[in-house]
Amino acid sequence: MTDELNGMMRVVVKDQPQQGLTLTTKPIPSELQPDEVLIRVTYTSICGTDHHIYEYDDWAKKRLKLPFTAGHEFCGEVVKIGTEVTRVKLGDIVSAETHIICGECQFCKSDNGHICENTKIIGVDTDGAFAEYVRIPAMNCFVNSPDKNPLHLSVQEPLGNAVHTMAHFPVEGKDVVIVGCGPIGLMGVNVAKAYKATKIIAVEVNEYRLGLAKKLGADVVINPLKEDVIQRVLEETEGRGVDVIGEFSGNKTAIEQSFKYLKRGGGLSMLGIPSKDIDVDVANDIVFKGIQIYGVVGRRIYETWHQVKELIDNDMLDLDTLITHTYPMSKIEEAMEIMGSGNCGKIIVDPRK
């Protein structure tokens, strides 16, 4: 093992200020800080953020410092530990909370580390998991049940986003709308089903993903390019609107419409990030309706992770349906193109191939 860890590893790096990623090699990290671990990556999955990095869009141009190894959603085996590590042990199968938090700011100290003011992100601010090995702080490790499907374990980070979004307001026995059925929105549909929502309505423009939403638990699907979303949702809810909305799209029109079909006293959880200002009738659609709005940042550390573990350990989700593609890391650009097409659910990458 020692000789193996002194060698080279394949990685996918963002090294050019243009569209694309580069498959290359780097030395396996040999020196660990006392609080760090080295993980042999089993599977990694592609996030929307990774696609922004691939495209090198306006966000990426402003945010990234090149070069670095991309990727942040993964599972793997702990193969080396720092001298002060007690959180995990050699051989543990782990996934990673990708927000590296400071532990010192007022938010961290009040158990709100998910909004730490000094957050760094694995695979954005530090070298990530599109690699055969990744080095991270031990505090970012979450130990998995070793008998669970590693494909499922590799998607827990985005699944945590979906759980955080859909669990903030109670959905059991409630009518729910999921706005935007990208991979995390699709997870939101499946989580709402697992948490026993009465009626799940999915809103999405991509027909492939609407079909997946049906398979994952949506009772009603609405394509806003073909139907009036507000009218249809009100028809499905006896004119009162829905109790809970999970907003995953970030689309200006979709967000504005959601205020119109949210029931009085309802809850709106917002994960999607709009690129334009949102126009809202604050008096009539927020104040006089008595609604609550919750902004979702990552996952609550580690409360959300335990919720995710419960769902996976009890086989409450349909992750084999959600995971639609698996690619060798050697075909990372092909995987990114499929991601960009929208005709996919979750895409998994095997770093060993």
Residues 93-123 pLDDT 10s: 999 999 999 999 999 999 999 999 999 999 9
Q: Helix 229-236 to helix 252-261 angle, to the nearest 10 degrees? A: 30
Angstrom distance (rounded) from CA 190 to CA 318: 7
CB-CB contact of 39 with 79 (8 Å): yes
CATH 3.40.50.720 range(s) for the chain read 161-295
DSSP 3-state of 33: coil
* 321 tagged catalytic: no
**pTM of the predicted model, to two decimals?**
0.95
Query: Which tens digits make up the pLDDT trace of 216-242?
Result: 999 999 999 999 999 999 999 999 999
Q: Which two tokens stand for residue 215?
A: 């398979």
- The verdict on whether 49 is a catalytic residue reads yes
Mean pLDDT of all residues in the chain? 96
Centroid of chain to Cα 86: 27
CA dihedral 245, 269, 61, 73 (to 10 degrees): -90
241's tokens: 């609107």
Say what percent of the chain tops pLDDT 70: 99
Determine if the peptide bond prior to 43 is cis (ω within 30°): no
Tokens coding 131: 């690699």
Cα dihedral 297, 303, 306, 312 sign: negative
User: Is the pLDDT confidence value at 4 over 80?
Assistant: no
Q: Encoding tokens for residue 72?
A: 């942040």
Q: List 178's β-bridge partners, or say none.
A: 202, 246
Check whether domain 2-154+318-350 has CATH 3.90.180.10, yes or no: yes
DSSP state of 92: -
Chain centroid, CA 21 distance in Å: 21
Put residue 32 in one of left, alpha, beta given phi > 0 → left and psi -120 to 50 → alpha.
beta
Q: Which pLDDT does position 3 carry in this prediction?
A: 54
User: Rounded to whole angstroms, how far apart are CA atoms 199 and 295?
Assistant: 23
pLDDT at 6: 74
User: What stretches of the chain show up as alpha helix (H) in DSSP?
Assistant: 2-5, 48-55, 58-63, 106-109, 150-153, 156-167, 183-194, 207-215, 229-236, 252-261, 282, 303-313, 319-322, 332-341
Four-way CATH pick for 161-295: 3.40.50.720, 3.30.70.330, 3.40.50.620, 3.40.50.2300: 3.40.50.720
Q: Which two tokens stand for residue 25?
A: 């090699």
The active-site residue, picked from 49, 98, 165, 324, is 49
From the list 22, 52, 237, 325, the catalytic residue is 52
Q: Residues of CATH 3.90.180.10 domain(s) within the chain?
A: 2-154+318-350
